[in-house]
Structure 1
Amino acid sequence: MRSYLILSMCVLFLIHYFIDLIWLEYIVVVFALLSFIISTMNSSGFPRWIGIIMMGTGMILEINKGTGLDGISEGILLILPLLCLVTLAPLLSLPLKLGGYFESVDSLLRNLLNHPQRLFAGITTTLFILSPILSLGSVRIISEFLSDLKLPSAMSAKSYLIGFSTAVMWSPYFASVTLVLYYLEMPVGKYILYGLGISFLSLLVGNVLFAIWERRYPLDRPSDPEIPLENRTRNQLIQLAMFTFFLMFTSLTIEYFTQWSMIVVVSIISIILPLMWGAISNSWKRLYPHWRTYLDQSVPMMNNEIMLFTSAGLLGHAIQGTTFANEISQFLTSVANQSFILFALAVMVIVLVVTYVGIHQIAVISALAMQLNAQELGISTLSLAMLLLLAWSISSALSPFSGLNLMVSRIVGISGFEVGLRANGLHLSIVAILGIGIIMFVR
């Protein structure tokens, strides 16, 4: 029942996007609030209390601003596209599961065991390709493949964070990219090449640093003989890369010709693609069990995401226009007019401090994206988008309360502090410096 409520919310929002009816808007908001309440009831621990605090604070701020229920509705409507993306995007994985592509990835990684540096490159590159489609599920899948190999915790922590955090900066199938560009009203097509550039640079830096680390701390290499990859496995790996490219190309093409929001484009593709796969391959019987798993397990498991994204989105909207937000905006504008480097560092520090205490990136970066004006800052909208996404990527890796950090620390068995700062602090620092340098050239 819970899954059908959440999916109904998504479908109604997509209908509302194309048919702008006031009464339908209210229904969508009610469904979103009900989804938040149900998700909160089924959550526990620290995320639950953070979600309740952010939602309560957001509502209080809207009431104090005088916007009341209209402000609350507007804040929830602004975050609804992201909720749809998070809920529907996992459907993209169904064709990959049916096609046996994950087994090919498993074969590739096992084939690289005798070469730690190649294995590290294989893990990070695989996550770079899979993360846009599977989100955090990609980390879970790779960790299951490698669970019996007993890799060192430091190696796992480095590879998972480096591989996944790159996608945060470029993929239109990710909440970070779609949300920032949505608020800045910037087409994904004008940004994606720059995001890919910084992501490739991050991937390169991470692999170089691991090569240096591995020389200092050599890994025990298995004595098992290497088994060459079968042609079928090689072909499936190529098809997997082409599948990702096809998704990106299709999304950008539809956005370019229709001018629809990329979030809406991705949500629609997520619904249509599995249906097309089932029709073309005539695999409805094989598809049905995966659909049931999605309904019974995948959607209910999104309690924390739905709760945190809804509350953080409302809080980010509520902060906009407050005295505190205006003062921060004036401060950052003043700093930007004096030095771009100081402005970039100030944004980084604000995002890192706020997220490190448990507030989700959506709240702080949404507030900054809605509050800051690129022209007043003396920079381009592209530069502002790149900076905010760079800050999002670094904070998601460093913050011990981010979904990525929490999952990796649970998988490798070390604390969030060790996963973020100790295992990846140097890599993230170098990427931040290089990223800010690149943004200076395009601003």
Structure 2
Amino acid sequence: MSRRRDLAGGLILLGLLVQILSFLPALELTRFASYTLWLATALLWFDIPRRTRQQSGVLLVLGVGFLVLAAWRHGAEVDWAGSLTGNVYVVAMLLGVSFVGLIGGQATPVADRTAERTGAGALFRTWLGVHVLGIVLNLSTVFMVGDRLARQGELRVPQLLMLNRGLSSAALWSPFFASMGVVLTLAPDMQYSRILIVGLPLAACAGLIAIVDLRRQFDLSTVTGFSLAPRSLLMPVAMAVLVLLFYQVITPGLGIVSIITFLMPATALASQLVSGPRRARRQLTSHVRQRLPMMRGEISLFLAAGLLTLGLSTYVEALTGSQWTLFARFGTLEAMASLVAIVVSAVLGLHPIIGISVLASMLQLSAQEQTLFAFVALGAWAIGTSVGPLSGINLSLQGRYGISGFVMMRHNLVYALSLLVLVLAAIALTGRWG
């Protein structure tokens, strides 16, 4: 088993490196990168958590089935060799971000010893710490903060809910999140500045809703929180500045997803080399053999969702002759209906990426409509991952701290409904964003 996982980890690293090379103007290696990632997924298939494996398997079968039907029944020309490339950009970005964990002490949150440690204020600062660090570190932040809280004793439900809500709400605006990677793949002409103007205030409102809802449900007077020391913010702020510097000045021809994909591993490797090549090699080897194979569930789900998107869109196009779309135009009402549908599907157990991918496959978005679609997708992701019992974050909390995903869903319903109303109101106010 160890050799198989080591081989899979090496293939995942190879896929990341090949994808980074494909950013060079003269190279197009995305297909080769996809083959290595799919092969690694096959090697790790039975190590994937059962529910994630089931979802990925269904998506895989449906994607292939739609491609076969399109080719066999309707004579569509299917690029079989390129059919596995869906969401490779997103997977590569996730892999790149995972290397941030190698960045010395700045990747480990430090507690502010001067802050109060219990009560609503402490829990709100827990949300803030997870949210700020999670912008860059993603899911690893939940474990960093959660493990520090667990030193005080077994984590209580309010603490777990704040870990969940602090991270999931970052999907509303963070350019480093997998949600943004998916959106930039499906809607490449969307305007991130408009997303930021609306998404950041919504995220702040999500934090206020989170603490008000917890005060309604629980007595927080004895619940321990976690407050970040100011120096813990240096790393995420520095990462954000670096990305913007590359995006605006150094490599303006590359999108944010591509920049994050190569910049995060490069920065992490440079930080390790400062301590000597031997230590850098040891840390990198550990990351490849342990951390990368542990991402098997995320990799399989994103790759399978990409295949489903391609298969469904190919089938719909072959069936209708490129004339049919779910909506004649993607405006305010259509956006609101789509948001509600994806959130409902998340409550029923589907990861939001499934609903987002299916929606995208049935739309022909104009450049003016892509920003609205992007906002719908990000809002659905933020709400759906918080409340969905089978979302990645809730499954991770269940595996790490023993809390049932359905318990998390039950306690998050009012929070999710409140945030849904806010996002719907934001859609109504912004209109088509044309």
Both structures adopt the same fold (TM-score exceeding 0.5):
yes
Shift of 1:162: 1.3
Measure, in 2, the Cα distance between the counterparts of 1:118 and 1:211: 11
The residue correspondences of 1:356-435 to structure 2 (distance < 5 A) are: 356-375=347-366, 380-420=369-409, 422-435=410-423
Aligned length: 417
Find the counterpart in structure 1 of residue 285 from structure 2: 292
Match of 1:197 among 193, 196, 201: 201
1:188-337 map, 5 Å: 188-213=192-217, 217-220=219-222, 234=229, 236-240=231-235, 242-250=237-245, 252-253=247-248, 258-279=252-273, 281-323=274-316, 333=327
Q: What's the CA shift for 1:147?
A: 0.7
- Which residue in 2 is equivalent to 1:6? 12
Unaligned 5+ segments in structure 1 are 223-228
Corresponding residue for 2:3?
none
Which residues in structure 2 correspond to 1:73-88 (within 5 Å)?
Answer: 73-88=81-96
Q: Distance in 1 between matches of 2:234 and 2:356?
A: 35
CA deviation map 1:93-148 (0-9, x unaligned): 222xx2355252xx32x654544122112211111112122221111111110113
Counterpart CA distance in 1 for 2:99 and 2:365 is 36
Question: What is the Cα deviation at residue 54 of structure 1?
Answer: 1.5
Please report how far the alpha carbon of residue 206 of structure 1 lies from its aligned counterpart in structure 2 after TM superposition.
1.7
TM-superposition CA deviations, 1:148-205 (whole Å, max 9, x none):
3246633123201210111112111111112112211125445333322322221232
TM-aligned CA distance change 1:283 to 1:70, over 3 Å: farther
Residue 153, structure 1, aligned to residue 172, structure 2: no
CA distance 1:15–1:364, change in 2 (3 Å): same
Compared with structure 1, are the counterparts of its residues 123 and 285 closer, same or farther at alpha carbon in structure 2 (3 Å cutoff)? farther
Shift of 1:3: 1.3
The residue that corresponds to 2:40 in the other structure is 35
Distance 1:3 1:175 in 2: 20
Tell me the distance in 2 between the aligned counterparts of 1:33 and 1:133.
26
Comparing 240-249 and 44-53, the one that deviates more: 240-249
Question: Structure 1 CA distance, aligned partners of 2:242 and 2:214?
Answer: 31
Deviation at 1:245, TM superposition (A): 3.8
Quick check: which one's helix share is greater? 1
Q: Do 1:181 and 1:187's aligned partners in 2 also have CA atoms closer than 8 Å? A: no
Report how far residue 73 of structure 1 moved: 4.1
- Kept in 2, the 8 Å contact 1:167–1:199? The answer is yes
Q: Which amino acid aligns with 2:205?
A: L
- Aligned partners of 1:57 and 1:248: how far apart in 2? 37
Identity %: 19
Q: Secondary structure at the match of 2:65?
A: helix
Tell me how far 1:36 sits from its aligned partner.
2.5
Q: What is the CA–CA distance in structure 1 between the aligned matches of 2:328 and 2:211, rounded to whole Å?
A: 38
**Which AA in structure 2 matches 1:250?**
L
Q: Give a deviation string over 1:44-100, Cα, whole Å, max 9, x none.
A: 5222232222212211211211288944444422311111112121112222xx235
> What CA distance in whole angstroms lies between the structure 1 residues aligned with 2:272 and 2:376?
41
**In the aligned structure 2, how far is the partner of 1:365 from the partner of 1:101?**
31
* Structure-2 separation of matches of 1:168 and 1:325: 34
| Alpha-carbon distance change, 393 to 283 in structure 1, aligned in 2, over 3 angstroms | same
CA RMSD of aligned residues (A): 3.2
Contact 2:45–2:53 under 8 Å retained in 1:
yes
Distance 1:137 1:28 in 2: 25
- Say if 1:73 and 1:251 are closer, same or farther in 2 by CA, change over 3 A: farther
Contact 1:76–1:314 (CA under 8 A) maintained in structure 2: yes
8 Å CA contact 1:156, 1:412 repeated in 2: no
Give 3-state SS (helix, strand or coil) of 2:222's partner. Answer: coil
**How many angstroms does 1:439 deviate by?**
2.1
CA contact (8 A) 2:89 2:257 kept: yes
Cα distance in 2 for partners of 1:406, 1:253 equals 37
1:116 paired with 2:116, answer no
Report the CA distance between 1:386 and its aligned residue.
0.8
Q: Partner of 1:225 in structure 2?
A: none
Structure 2 length normalisation: TM-score? 0.84
* Residues in 1 aligned to 2:244 and 2:13: alpha-carbon distance in whole angstroms: 26
TM-score (norm 1): 0.83
